[in-house]
Amino acid sequence: MNQVKKEIETARRIKIQIVQGDITTEEVDAIVNAANKRLQHGGGVAGAISRRGGPSIQAESDAWVRQKGSVSHETPAVTGAGSLPCRYVIHAVGPVWDEGNEDAKLEAAVLGSLKTADELQLTSISMPAISTGIYGFPIDRAARIILKTIRIYFDQHPESILTLIRLVLFDDPAVLVFLQISDETNTA
């Protein structure tokens, strides 16, 4: 069972939660997948989402790429959630460490995910630590960027109907880093 380790409520009553657990069990409007640009969901978070959600997620992803091409950092793809307990999967493409301009690409992936959730008129979303697994993005740096970008998004989009952002982290080290960074930056 997923466990909230910290909850921050912003001045606009938006809740940002740092959660330890499994993103595939999240009962929110949408979960964010840490995807690659061709939406091949073989390993990591993407593989877990595809396995738990069933073959329809990969089938819809393949159709998306055939129709629209590779997914950019700025504009995620959206599919149904198959048998997951959410309605949608937002497939955000984060940067591979050492490919250049990684910070801006991670920020774009987070902003794109939040914008997509608003376009879908969602109120709740769960997001992993994008790019920190096999893509090698340092977790502390990613935590700073993700938390800062969420704050910036809501400062710039007061019309947003999102009310709950859950940062779902699988292991103790990632949770501890996000907790520490949120304390240091007084995020929200």
pLDDT at position 128 over 60:
yes
Least confident of 23-27, 42-46, 142-146: 42-46
How is the chain classified by DSSP, letter by letter? --EEEEEEE-TT--EEEEEES-GGG--SSEEEEEE-TT----SHHHHHHHHHH-HHHHHHHHHHHHHH-SPPSSS-EEEE-TTSSSSEEEEEEPPPTTSS-HHHHHHHHHHHHHHHHHHTT-SEEEE--TTSSTT---HHHHHHHHHHHHHHHHHH-TT----EEEEEE-SHHHHHHHHHHHHHHT--
Residue where the block lists tokens 């978070």 = 45
CATH homologous superfamily of 3-185 equals: Leucine Aminopeptidase, subunit E, domain 1 (3.40.220.10)
Name the band, by pLDDT with cuts 50, 70 and 90, for residue 188.
very low
What mean pLDDT comes out for the span 40-54?
94
Tens digit of each residue's pLDDT (9 = 90 or more) over 144-165? 999 999 999 999 999 999 999 9
Mean pLDDT value of segment 14-30: 98
Q: Output the average pLDDT for the chain.
A: 96
Amino acid at 85: P
Q: Residue range 123-135: average pLDDT? A: 96
pLDDT band with cut points at 50, 70 and 90 for residue 115 = very high
Residue-wise pLDDT tens digits, 63-72 = 999 999 999 9
Domain boundaries of the chain, sorted by first residue: 3-185
Measured distance between the N- and C-terminal CA atoms of the chain, rounded to whole angstroms = 26
Burial class of residue 22, CB neighbours in 10 A (0-12, 13-18, 19+): middle
Q: What is the pLDDT of residues 71-101, one digit of tens each?
A: 999 999 999 999 999 999 999 999 999 999 9
Residue 1 has pLDDT above 90, yes or no: no
